[in-house]
């Protein structure tokens, strides 16, 4: 098993409790040594070929909530039937039937290992990003991780790409400043103000567990995720020169269908839930998959949404095109 957790209240304790139960049942576990983005947990699950990966998080939901995301060995989310099967078996257990070993004993026995996959994950993202192009562009970027777990990994990538990067709301606050860590228009007013007043090229935001993205353009305008998907699909196809269709859920813009048709590519619609997007991407060998709530990934990366990678890809798009977000939007809308 691979166990991760974010900055939410008691997420780390939930991860430790899970490790104790696995050890009590003679199941080896990697327990992350520090809070981490959900995409990192997804990546590490696949790299370690764990039976399952667990991420204790409630993502973008209010601070009084917590939850659990479960990943298969390849990093994809469980499908509905698998989730129902696990829930049914779990709910038949009484508390007295749960066997566990104290964490210190589990660590001493070698059944549980404290692990850190930050460097490996950052390296995996950087292999997919044109760092040299970003270095030449000398972009000024401001990032709002919304008191979540996006700062270390994204900050490392942008710093190594020689961006002039500033962070706000980066400290650990399990109350998330008194609101949900969801990167929507209302929550990003301060980010937009900084972009305009301090003349940044781009404002980026990730949600509480950093699997979703939001951006603010150079004029402080909030750019919807539908438009981000359009821009990135255009960029991947026309500037990077990669070929393939796109996958979206039924709540995401049909302009993706029109753009794919313009390129002579397929656009596949799936139900809401990123697990359906990942499954269709594999089946169709699609180039990009995304949803209007902020999640996306590309072919060759993890089978889950990744706000860290998506942020780096947006920065690369600005660096390679040498255009502002507003200019790129006009270009794609003209198509």
Cα distances (angstroms) measured from residue 299 to each of 72, 280, 286, 287, 318? 18, 11, 6, 5, 21
Instruction: Count, in order, helices (H) and strands (E) of the chain.
Output: 13, 14
Across 246-264, average pLDDT: 97
Give the pLDDT score at 285: 97
- Alpha helix (H) residue ranges in 25-145: 38-48, 80-91, 103-109, 118-127, 131-137
Kindly tell me if the per-residue pLDDT of 226 is higher than 90: yes
- 70 in Cβ contact with 52 (< 8 Å): yes
- 184 in Cβ contact with 292 (< 8 Å): no
Spatial distance between the Cα atoms of 162 and 167, rounded to a whole number of angstroms: 15
Neighbours of 26 (CB within 10 A): 10
DSSP string, 219-278: TSPEEPHHHHHHHHHHHHHHTS-----EEEETTS-THHHHHHHHHT--EEEE-SSHHHHH
Find residue 261's DSSP bridge partners: none
Please give the helix or strand (H or E) that residue 305 lies within, else none: none
Give percent of the chain above pLDDT 70: 100
Give the pLDDT score at 193: 97
Q: What is the pLDDT of residues 46-58, one digit of tens each?
A: 999 999 999 999 9
Q: Which two tokens stand for residue 263?
A: 């390129």
Spatial distance between the Cα atoms of 321 and 65, rounded to a whole number of angstroms: 41
Q: Which two tokens stand for residue 229?
A: 């998907």
Cα distances (angstroms) measured from residue 190 to each of 128, 129, 205? 31, 28, 11
Across 61-82, average pLDDT: 93
Which residues are within 8 A (CB) of 102 and not within 5 positions of it... i.e. 6 or more apart?
A: 20
Across 305-313, average pLDDT: 97
Give the pLDDT score at 63: 95
Give percent of the chain above pLDDT 90: 98
Cα distances (angstroms) measured from residue 152 to each of 6, 27, 55, 209? 12, 30, 17, 12
- 150 in Cβ contact with 168 (< 8 Å): no
Kindly tell me if the per-residue pLDDT of 311 is higher than 90: yes
Confidence band, pLDDT 50/70/90 cuts, at residue 79: confident
Kindly tell me if the per-residue pLDDT of 130 is higher than 90: yes
**Model-level pTM?**
0.96
Neighbours of 118 (CB within 10 A): 17
Confidence band, pLDDT 50/70/90 cuts, at residue 80: confident
Neighbours of 261 (CB within 10 A): 11
Confidence band, pLDDT 50/70/90 cuts, at residue 283: very high
User: Which of 65, 39, 52 lies closest to 3, judged by CA?
Assistant: 52
């Amino acid at each position: 098993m691979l166990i991760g957790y974010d900055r939410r209240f008691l997420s780390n304790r939930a991860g430790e409790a899970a490790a104790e139960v696995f050890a009590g049942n003679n199941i080896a576990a990697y327990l992350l040594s520090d809070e981490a983005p959900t995409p990192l947990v997804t990546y590490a699950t696949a790299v370690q070929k764990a039976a399952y990966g667990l991420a204790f998080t409630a993502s973008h939901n209010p601070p009084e909530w917590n939850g659990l995301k479960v990943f298969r060995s390849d990093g994809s989310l469980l499908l509905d039937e698998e989730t129902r099967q696990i829930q049914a078996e779990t709910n038949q257990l009484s508390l007295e039937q749960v066997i566990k070993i104290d964490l210190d004993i589990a660590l001493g026995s070698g059944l549980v290992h404290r692990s850190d996959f930050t460097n490996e994950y950052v390296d995996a993202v950087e292999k997919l990003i044109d760092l040299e192009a970003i270095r030449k562009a000398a972009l000024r970027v401001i990032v709002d991780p919304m008191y979540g777990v996006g700062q270390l990994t994204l900050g490392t990538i942008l710093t190594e790409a020689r961006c002039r990067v500033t962070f706000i709301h980066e400290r650990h606050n399990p109350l998330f400043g008194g609101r949900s860590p969801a990167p929507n228009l209302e929550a990003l007013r301060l980010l937009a103000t900084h972009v305009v007043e301090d003349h940044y090229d781009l404002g980026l935001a990730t949600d509480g567990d950093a699997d979703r993205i939001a951006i603010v353009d150079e004029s402080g305008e909030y750019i919807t995720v539908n438009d981000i998907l359009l821009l990135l699909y255009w960029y991947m196809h026309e500037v990077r020169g990669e070929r393939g269709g796109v996958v979206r859920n039924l709540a995401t813009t049909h302009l993706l269908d029109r753009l794919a048709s313009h390129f002579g590519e397929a656009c596949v619609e799936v139900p809401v839930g990123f697990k359906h997007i990942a499954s269709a991407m594999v089946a169709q060998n699609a180039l990009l998959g995304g949803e209007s709530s902020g999640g996306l990934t590309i072919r060759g990366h993890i089978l889950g949404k990744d706000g860290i990678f998506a942020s780096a890809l947006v920065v690369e798009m600005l660096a390679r095109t040498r255009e502002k977000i507003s200019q790129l939007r006009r270009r794609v809308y003209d198509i």
